[in-house]
Amino acid sequence: MSEDRAARLDTTVIHDGRVVHLSVDTVRFPDGSVGKLELIRHRGAAAVLPVHANVGGETEVLLIRQYRYAAGGVIHEVPAGIVEPGESWEECALRELEEEAGVRAGRLVRLTSIHTTPGFTNERIHIFAAFDLQPGRSRPDRDEFLELARMPLSAALALIESGEMTDAKSIVALLYAARFLLPEDG
Protein backbone atom coordinates (compact mmCIF):
# COMPACT_ATOMS: atom_id res chain seq x y z
CA MET A 1 0.00 0.00 0.00
CA SER A 2 1.45 3.35 -1.02
CA GLU A 3 1.21 6.14 1.53
CA ASP A 4 2.48 8.68 -0.98
CA ARG A 5 -0.99 9.17 -2.47
CA ALA A 6 -2.74 9.69 0.90
CA ALA A 7 -3.32 13.36 1.63
CA ARG A 8 -5.64 15.78 3.43
CA LEU A 9 -7.55 17.82 0.89
CA ASP A 10 -9.71 19.88 3.25
CA THR A 11 -10.55 20.18 6.93
CA THR A 12 -13.61 21.48 8.78
CA VAL A 13 -13.09 22.27 12.45
CA ILE A 14 -15.99 21.01 14.57
CA HIS A 15 -14.57 21.76 18.03
CA ASP A 16 -11.37 23.45 19.21
CA GLY A 17 -11.08 22.71 22.92
CA ARG A 18 -8.57 22.75 25.76
CA VAL A 19 -7.56 19.11 25.30
CA VAL A 20 -8.82 17.96 21.91
CA HIS A 21 -9.49 19.46 18.52
CA LEU A 22 -12.13 17.67 16.43
CA SER A 23 -12.30 18.06 12.68
CA VAL A 24 -13.83 16.34 9.71
CA ASP A 25 -11.14 15.96 7.09
CA THR A 26 -11.61 15.25 3.39
CA VAL A 27 -8.77 12.91 2.47
CA ARG A 28 -7.40 11.16 -0.56
CA PHE A 29 -6.80 7.53 0.39
CA PRO A 30 -3.79 5.50 -0.81
CA ASP A 31 -5.89 3.97 -3.63
CA GLY A 32 -6.76 7.45 -4.96
CA SER A 33 -10.37 7.50 -3.72
CA VAL A 34 -11.63 10.42 -1.61
CA GLY A 35 -13.59 10.28 1.63
CA LYS A 36 -14.30 12.03 4.91
CA LEU A 37 -12.77 11.08 8.27
CA GLU A 38 -13.37 12.45 11.74
CA LEU A 39 -10.09 13.20 13.47
CA ILE A 40 -9.29 14.22 17.02
CA ARG A 41 -6.01 16.11 17.07
CA HIS A 42 -4.10 16.01 20.36
CA ARG A 43 -0.75 17.60 21.18
CA GLY A 44 0.54 14.45 22.87
CA ALA A 45 1.37 13.33 26.36
CA ALA A 46 3.97 11.64 28.51
CA ALA A 47 3.42 8.83 30.98
CA VAL A 48 5.82 7.53 33.60
CA LEU A 49 6.07 4.34 35.64
CA PRO A 50 7.56 5.10 39.08
CA VAL A 51 9.82 2.19 40.09
CA HIS A 52 11.01 1.72 43.66
CA ALA A 53 14.17 -0.17 44.45
CA ASN A 54 13.86 -3.89 45.01
CA VAL A 55 12.08 -4.23 48.37
CA GLY A 56 12.11 -7.59 50.14
CA GLY A 57 13.09 -9.43 47.00
CA GLU A 58 10.68 -7.79 44.57
CA THR A 59 10.55 -4.54 42.61
CA GLU A 60 7.73 -2.22 43.64
CA VAL A 61 5.89 0.27 41.45
CA LEU A 62 3.74 3.25 42.28
CA LEU A 63 0.39 3.46 40.52
CA ILE A 64 -2.42 5.95 40.82
CA ARG A 65 -6.05 5.08 41.41
CA GLN A 66 -7.78 7.91 39.59
CA TYR A 67 -11.40 8.82 38.94
CA ARG A 68 -11.99 8.94 35.20
CA TYR A 69 -15.40 10.09 34.06
CA ALA A 70 -14.97 8.60 30.56
CA ALA A 71 -14.04 5.20 32.04
CA GLY A 72 -17.02 5.20 34.37
CA GLY A 73 -15.17 5.29 37.67
CA VAL A 74 -11.81 4.73 39.32
CA ILE A 75 -9.04 3.02 37.37
CA HIS A 76 -5.38 2.16 37.99
CA GLU A 77 -2.92 4.25 35.99
CA VAL A 78 0.64 5.49 35.82
CA PRO A 79 1.10 9.26 36.19
CA ALA A 80 0.62 11.00 32.84
CA GLY A 81 -0.37 14.27 31.29
CA ILE A 82 -0.42 16.54 28.28
CA VAL A 83 2.78 18.21 27.18
CA GLU A 84 2.91 21.97 27.73
CA PRO A 85 4.13 24.32 24.97
CA GLY A 86 7.94 24.34 24.84
CA GLU A 87 8.23 21.34 27.16
CA SER A 88 10.17 18.21 26.20
CA TRP A 89 8.61 14.76 26.65
CA GLU A 90 11.06 14.12 29.49
CA GLU A 91 10.17 17.39 31.22
CA CYS A 92 6.48 16.54 30.89
CA ALA A 93 7.01 13.09 32.41
CA LEU A 94 8.99 14.51 35.35
CA ARG A 95 6.42 17.25 35.97
CA GLU A 96 3.50 14.83 35.93
CA LEU A 97 5.36 12.41 38.18
CA GLU A 98 5.73 15.05 40.87
CA GLU A 99 2.31 16.66 40.39
CA GLU A 100 0.36 13.38 40.50
CA ALA A 101 2.53 11.02 42.55
CA GLY A 102 4.40 13.47 44.76
CA VAL A 103 7.83 12.04 43.90
CA ARG A 104 10.85 13.18 41.92
CA ALA A 105 13.04 10.95 39.80
CA GLY A 106 16.81 10.78 40.03
CA ARG A 107 16.85 8.87 36.75
CA LEU A 108 14.38 8.72 33.87
CA VAL A 109 14.50 6.01 31.19
CA ARG A 110 12.57 6.21 27.91
CA LEU A 111 10.59 3.03 27.29
CA THR A 112 8.55 3.53 24.11
CA SER A 113 5.87 5.62 22.39
CA ILE A 114 2.35 4.54 21.45
CA HIS A 115 -0.49 5.76 19.29
CA THR A 116 -3.49 5.54 21.62
CA THR A 117 -6.28 5.04 19.09
CA PRO A 118 -4.99 5.57 15.55
CA GLY A 119 -8.40 5.01 13.99
CA PHE A 120 -9.59 8.47 15.02
CA THR A 121 -6.85 10.41 16.84
CA ASN A 122 -3.24 11.40 16.27
CA GLU A 123 -2.57 11.26 20.03
CA ARG A 124 0.81 9.78 20.88
CA ILE A 125 1.99 9.03 24.40
CA HIS A 126 5.70 8.86 25.23
CA ILE A 127 6.29 6.36 28.04
CA PHE A 128 9.10 6.45 30.60
CA ALA A 129 10.19 4.71 33.78
CA ALA A 130 11.42 6.70 36.79
CA PHE A 131 14.03 5.44 39.26
CA ASP A 132 15.85 6.74 42.36
CA LEU A 133 12.63 8.28 43.62
CA GLN A 134 12.70 11.02 46.23
CA PRO A 135 9.82 12.82 47.97
CA GLY A 136 8.39 15.75 46.03
CA ARG A 137 5.27 17.89 46.26
CA SER A 138 2.00 16.58 44.89
CA ARG A 139 -0.07 19.20 43.04
CA PRO A 140 -3.00 17.51 41.30
CA ASP A 141 -5.14 19.53 38.94
CA ARG A 142 -8.56 20.69 40.15
CA ASP A 143 -10.29 17.91 38.19
CA GLU A 144 -7.93 15.12 39.33
CA PHE A 145 -9.16 12.85 42.11
CA LEU A 146 -6.48 10.29 42.85
CA GLU A 147 -4.82 8.17 45.49
CA LEU A 148 -1.45 6.45 45.41
CA ALA A 149 -1.15 2.68 45.26
CA ARG A 150 2.35 1.31 45.86
CA MET A 151 2.55 -2.40 45.17
CA PRO A 152 4.86 -5.19 44.07
CA LEU A 153 5.36 -5.39 40.31
CA SER A 154 3.73 -8.84 40.39
CA ALA A 155 0.54 -7.33 41.88
CA ALA A 156 0.44 -4.68 39.15
CA LEU A 157 0.89 -7.37 36.49
CA ALA A 158 -1.91 -9.38 38.14
CA LEU A 159 -4.21 -6.35 37.68
CA ILE A 160 -3.50 -6.58 33.96
CA GLU A 161 -3.98 -10.33 33.80
CA SER A 162 -7.30 -10.20 35.68
CA GLY A 163 -8.64 -7.44 33.45
CA GLU A 164 -8.96 -5.02 36.36
CA MET A 165 -6.41 -2.66 34.77
CA THR A 166 -7.77 -1.38 31.47
CA ASP A 167 -5.69 1.77 30.87
CA ALA A 168 -3.62 1.11 27.75
CA LYS A 169 -0.68 3.42 28.51
CA SER A 170 -0.29 1.87 31.95
CA ILE A 171 -0.52 -1.68 30.62
CA VAL A 172 2.13 -0.90 28.01
CA ALA A 173 4.40 0.77 30.61
CA LEU A 174 4.15 -2.18 33.01
CA LEU A 175 4.52 -4.93 30.41
CA TYR A 176 7.37 -3.15 28.65
CA ALA A 177 9.23 -2.54 31.91
CA ALA A 178 8.65 -6.10 33.13
CA ARG A 179 9.82 -7.63 29.85
CA PHE A 180 12.68 -5.39 28.76
CA LEU A 181 13.86 -3.19 31.63
CA LEU A 182 13.55 -4.75 35.07
CA PRO A 183 15.43 -7.79 36.32
CA GLU A 184 13.31 -10.84 37.01
CA ASP A 185 11.93 -10.70 40.53
CA GLY A 186 11.98 -13.64 42.77
| pTM, 2 dp | 0.90
Task: Determine the Cα–Cα distance for residues 38 and 21; give it in Å rounded to an integer.
Answer: 10
**43-94 pLDDT tens trace:** 999 999 999 977 677 899 999 999 999 999 999 999 999 999 999 999 999 9
User: In this structure, are residues 185 and 54 in contact, taking their beta carbons and an 8 Å threshold?
Assistant: yes
Task: Determine the Cα–Cα distance for residues 148 and 130; give it in Å rounded to an integer.
Answer: 15
pLDDT given for residue 141 in this prediction: 76
CB contact set of 174 (below 8 Å; sequence gap of 6+): 49, 61, 78, 153, 156, 157, 160, 165
**123-176 pLDDT tens trace:** 999 999 999 999 998 887 787 789 999 999 999 999 999 999 999 999 999 999
User: In this structure, are residues 129 and 47 in contact, taking their beta carbons and an 8 Å threshold?
Assistant: no
